């Protein structure tokens, strides 16, 4: 099992579920998607939620973090290669959207199996400047206030210095990686369906900036807007998971076909 995935994801009912690999936002980890399996099950989606745990956070806190997107994507491509052989989609929120998109480009360039669809939320199209959450030289207090105002940190946690001391270095490295990105801004479109979600009151990434992803779509593009701001996936989780479940059902193998494939 690749170090990017939790051992629990070896389960299976395998062939009957569409695998959904979820990439975290800046400063976040795999736990951000900890409640999604139950939520999607309740909404009737036959999907297996596979949160991707990047190094340097949560259960991988002792490992060095990536600050170069290309190096991270190369490692993800190598480590997840066998896991991406089965039908799957990639999902990413904010920084996770950039990672998921870059991984598809990497695999597309070398002729590897691609996802059934690419689902991205709360990130600007790659030909636009990266969202600026805080200045690179912002103080800890300024960075925390920026993250909290976006909904990235529940304000109650601002009173827990042990949590903040672990979060801040991760967030700074992640923001550095996004700011330094030189992804294929004007190159080949992705050869998979592209599904986009935007928060109607997102002050960091506007709806038009999400719609601009259409320039990079080679197999169709849909945009859905959600109530809330940048972290609508948290503030309006149930509504979002309902929308996501209806989308995933389009790409889920029929049970009879899945059974035949695993026989």
Active-site hit among 9, 94, 121, 146: 94
Q: Which residue from 57, 59, 70 is spatially nearest to 25, judged by alpha carbons?
A: 57
- Provide long-range contacts, Cβ within 8 A and 24+ apart, for 56-59: 56/170, 56/173, 57/24, 57/28, 57/29, 57/170, 58/29, 58/30, 58/31, 59/29, 59/30
Phi and psi angles of residue 8, each rounded to the nearest 5 degrees, phi first: -60, -20
Could you give the CA distance from residue 145 to residue 159 in angstroms, rounded to a whole number?
12
The three-state secondary structure class of 224 is: strand
Residue 167 burial (10 A CB sphere; 0-12, 13-18, 19+): buried
94 is catalytic: yes
Catalytic residue IDs: 94
């Amino acid at each position: 099992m690749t170090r990017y995935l939790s051992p629990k994801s070896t389960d299976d009912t395998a062939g009957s579920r569409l695998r959904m690999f979820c990439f975290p936002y800046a400063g976040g980890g795999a736990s951000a998607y900890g409640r999604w399996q139950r939520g999607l099950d309740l909404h009737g989606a036959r999907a297996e939620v596979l949160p991707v745990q990047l190094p340097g956070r949560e259960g991988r806190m002792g490992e060095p973090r990536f600050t170069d997107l290309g190096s991270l994507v190369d490692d993800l491509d190598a480590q997840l290669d066998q896991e991406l052989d089965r039908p799957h989609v990639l999902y990413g929120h904010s920084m996770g959207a950039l990672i998921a998109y870059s991984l598809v480009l990497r695999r597309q360039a070398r002729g590897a199996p691609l996802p059934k669809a690419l689902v991205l939320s709360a990130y600007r199209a790659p030909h636009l400047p990266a969202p600026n959450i805080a200045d690179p030289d912002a103080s800890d207090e300024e960075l925390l206030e920026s993250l909290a105002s976006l909904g990235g940190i529940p304000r109650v946690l601002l009173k827990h210095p042990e949590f903040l001391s672990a979060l801040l270095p991760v967030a700074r490295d992640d923001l550095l990686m996004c700011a330094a990105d030189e992804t294929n801004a004007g190159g080949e479109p992705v050869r998979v369906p592209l599904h986009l979600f935007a928060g109607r009151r997102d002050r960091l990434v506007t709806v038009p900036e999400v719609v601009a992803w259409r320039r990079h779509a080679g197999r169709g593009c849909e945009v859905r807007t959600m109530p809330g701001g940048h972290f609508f996936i948290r503030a309006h989780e149930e509504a979002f998971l309902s929308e996501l479940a209806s989308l995933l059902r389009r790409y889920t193998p029929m049970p009879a076909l899945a059974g035949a494939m695993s026989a």
